[in-house]
């Protein structure tokens, strides 16, 4: 993170938790850089601890605190009463597996802490910070516990998870409910280019070990991209092949016969069978085509502003920005508007509401 980002984080936490000691700020920096991995020995043991803590946790004023680097502390006392501890644990352990911070980054956080102390914006002397840090550094930066003062004032009971977890909490709750009722669930994720469809699908894979299908593998062959076809909302995808090949397997909870379409060579790849899993995710533009909606238990639509969309596409596929702006995005917009996807989806999340 930048110095400004570190400073914002440290000041936010001081404003929310003014009884924090220097020890608590070291813990905050450690978690922001290294995540929660040091707490996980065995997933089963971790889940048991979460179940126990949720039962004991006092109600908390807010659900989460961002701690930088794409992470947040989610307070167990603020979780919905029907939310599964097992899902919290899955997110917790998946987050831990992704964290790979460095001592260099940790020491950048120290520099920001020192600067704020020198400005008098935090109530610690720079000398005390440097002395405490030297001791911690010589010990090899072991994990830090909250101070007694912090525990007395705030009774912390939380887990460090990826920052989007609180945002998607309603989706997780719905998945858990359907899995409990019928043992399997199929989720479709649609939305504009750059809205985060693939990212959300990947996160669901990491949490649930689910099977993921990508609508990019079902783009329409060039030979079928007639003017009439492309003028039909949702016509830019081979929904017919998806319905014929994938649809029956989804409805029957069977291995999915999957053929990826190579856009560059305009060829179908050899068939592979994707395994059956309790959760199956279908992601990508046009996945909520009306001809396919009956295949899903939950539908998710992701939105974003024009400014955010342009910035993300330019960062990801700069040389193709013009084609996105003048060809693919107008087709997506016409399709979304024609079928009122935002209004007709189980959940709608905006990139502008990110935690």
**pLDDT for 351:** 78
DSSP state letter for 28: H
What three-state secondary structure class fits 338?
Answer: helix
- The model carries a pTM of 0.81
pLDDT value, residue 355: 44
Residue 134 is encoded by which pair of tokens? Answer: 């030297």
Q: How far apart are CA 282 and CA 198, in angstroms?
A: 10
Residue 113: Cβ-neighbour burial (10 angstroms; 0-12, 13-18, 19+) = buried
**What contacts 296, CB < 8 A, 6 or more positions away?**
186, 187, 188, 282, 288
Q: Which of 46, 64, 52, 27 is nearest to 149 (CA)?
A: 27
Nearest to 247 by CA among 213, 220, 224: 213
Delineate the domains of the chain, giving CATH numbers in brackets: 3-162 (no CATH), 169-353 (3.40.50.300)
Q: What is the residue-level pLDDT of the chain in tens, covering all 355 positions?
A: 899 999 999 999 999 999 999 999 999 999 999 998 665 667 678 888 898 999 999 899 999 999 999 999 999 999 887 777 888 888 888 888 888 889 999 999 999 999 999 999 999 999 999 999 999 999 999 999 999 999 999 999 999 998 888 888 889 889 988 998 999 999 999 998 888 999 999 989 988 889 999 999 999 999 999 999 989 999 989 999 999 999 999 999 999 999 999 888 889 999 999 999 999 999 999 999 999 999 999 999 999 888 888 888 888 877 788 888 888 888 899 999 999 999 999 999 987 765 4
| E strands present in the chain | 64-68, 71-75, 158-162, 185-191, 211-214, 256-258, 261-262, 267-268, 272-274, 279-283, 298-303, 347-350
Residue 226 CB burial class (10 angstroms; 0-12, 13-18, ≥19): exposed
φ and ψ of 305, to 5 deg: -75, 160
Residues 41 and 104 sit within 8 Å (Cβ to Cβ): no
DSSP at 334 = H
Q: What is the pLDDT of residue 354?
A: 54
Write down the residue that tokens 């065995």 correspond to. 42
pLDDT of residue 191: 94
Cα gap 332→49, rounded to integer Å: 45
Q: Alpha-carbon torsion 190, 339, 332, 195, what sign?
A: negative
């Amino acid at each position: 993170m930048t110095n400004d980002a570190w400073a914002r984080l440290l000041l936010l936490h001081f404003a929310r938790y003014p009884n924090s000691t220097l020890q608590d700020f070291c813990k905050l920096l450690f978690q922001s850089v290294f995540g929660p991995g040091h707490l996980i020995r065995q997933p089963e043991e971790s889940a048991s601890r979460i179940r126990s803590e949720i039962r004991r946790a006092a109600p908390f004023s807010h659900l989460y605190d961002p701690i930088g680097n794409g992470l947040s502390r989610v307070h167990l006392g603020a979780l919905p009463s029907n939310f599964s501890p097992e899902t919290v644990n899955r997110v917790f352990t998946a987050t831990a597996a992704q964290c790979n911070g460095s001592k260099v980054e940790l020491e950048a956080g120290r520099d920001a802490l020192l600067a704020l102390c020198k400005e008098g914006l935090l109530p610690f002397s720079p000398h005390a910070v440097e002395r405490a840090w030297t001791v911690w550094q010589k010990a090899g930066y072991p994990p830090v516990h909250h101070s007694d003062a912090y525990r007395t004032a705030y009774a912390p009971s939380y887990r460090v998870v990826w920052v989007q977890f609180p945002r998607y909490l309603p989706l997780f709750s719905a998945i858990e409910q359907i899995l409990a009722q019928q043992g399997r669930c199929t989720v479709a994720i649609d939305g504009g280019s750059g809205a985060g469809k693939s990212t959300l699908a990947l996160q669901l894979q990491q949490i649930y070990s689910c099977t993921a299908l990508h609508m990019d593998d079902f783009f329409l062959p060039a030979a079928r991209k007639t003017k009439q076809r492309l003028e039909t909302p949702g016509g830019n995808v081979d929904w017919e092949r998806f319905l014929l090949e994938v649809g029956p397997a989804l409805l029957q909870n069977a291995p999915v016969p999957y053929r990826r379409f190579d856009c560059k060579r305009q060829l179908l790849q050899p068939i592979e069978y994707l395994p059956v899993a309790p959760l199956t995710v279908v992601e990508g533009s046009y996945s909520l085509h009306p001809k396919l909606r009956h295949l899903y238990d939950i539908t998710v639509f992701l939105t974003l502003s024009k400014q955010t969309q342009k910035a993300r596409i330019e960062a990801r596929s700069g040389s193709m920005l013009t084609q996105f702006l003048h060809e693919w995005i107008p087709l997506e917009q016409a399709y979304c508007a024609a079928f009122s996807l935002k209004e007709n989806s189980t959940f709608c999340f905006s990139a502008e509401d990110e935690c």
